[in-house]
Amino acid sequence: MEFSFVDTIYDPLQKRQVRRWVLELPGAGCQWYKKTGGCTMCAFNQSTKKYTFGGKLYPHFIFMLLFYYAYWLIKKQQPELLVIYNGGSFLSDKEIPLKTQLAILKFAAKHATISKVLVESRAEFVTSEKMLQYDKAIGGKSLEIALGLESADDEIRNKCLGKGLSKQTFEQAVQLCHHFHFLAFAYVYLKPHCLDENEAIKDAIKSIEYCFQVGVDEVSLSCAFVQANTLLEKLYKKGEFAPPKLWSIIKVITETSKLGPVRIGHFDDEPPPVAIPHNYRHGKEQSLCPVCNKKVMEAIEHYRQTHDTRVFNPLSCSCQEY
């Protein structure tokens, strides 16, 4: 799997395509996972353990060697957006050294074409002290912090998904981002294992509404997919869970896109999924619909590149009723 590459992505805030540098850094692993066993749907710990000798924190100079090598691989492509994934929280000093965090932001501040950096974090690491340090390092360029909310429902978020996050902490993180003129980005999860298909649609819609109500700038709809060695895989193999239908994704997007920018997350990740969202044939949850699955998947990809919901208008299939 490539750890440094440039692709093209639609930026709904700028309403145009931008060149995105995707950089995957081997962070020491999610602190919440190490403390509690993590969120029930997450398998990122498997990757962080694989690339960090069981979750060890590399020293600053190792991170910077990796960073500059990663940049050497893509520098001719003149990226406009730098997105960093580390399988946890970039803002956590126990996962990425603070010196490394600030050095990367300072690099972006001086770069000729990079205008924005996006990093991910649990909300509790968004503190006034950290935001002040980031504000000085980024040098006036745009910074977006992606926060995992998953669900606005406390029971679903914390008991079903094991997120360990209060609304107060989430809202404080959003407010701090805005206080320092940074952007707040939120992940909303479609189809926790404790909900059926219709309940999941309603929860995702309500959660996206909540995000925009509290000031989130962008939302990404994270659609459940099944990864190996997870609770979801156990349920999937028993026939007790299936990823959401593509029709459900479209329903959520068409209901919420008028509220603000809503992305659709991709259905692949590391480690590779065992099962991804699809439309089912006559209610058989592990059998693809041969009529519409491909064309609906293509429409979703078209939406990712344009954020134009009209691409969904001509779509229909008998499997929508199942």
At residue 46, the pLDDT reads: 79
Residues 63-108 pLDDT 10s: 999 999 999 999 999 999 999 999 999 999 999 999 999 999 999 9
DSSP summary character for residue 96: S
Residues 53-64 pLDDT 10s: 778 999 999 999
Write out the two tokens for 318.
Answer: 């008998």
E strand residue ranges, the chain: 4-11, 16-24, 81-85, 116-121, 142-150, 183-190, 218-223, 226-227, 262-264, 273-275, 280-281, 284-288
- Record: fold of 4-275: TIM Barrel (3.20.20)
Residues 225-245 pLDDT 10s: 999 989 999 999 999 999 999
The whole-model pTM stands at 0.95
- Please check whether residue 303 is in contact with residue 257, taking contact to mean a CB–CB distance below 8 angstroms: no
Separation of alpha carbons 9 and 222, rounded Å: 17
Q: What burial letters (b/e) apply to 247-274, b meaning 16+ CB within 10 Å?
A: bbbbbbbebbbeebbbbbbebebbeebb
Which of 106, 4, 110, 98 has the alpha carbon at shortest distance from 60? 98
In this prediction, residue 145 has a pLDDT band, given cuts at 50, 70 and 90, of: very high
Q: What is the CA 150 to chain-centroid distance, rounded?
A: 10
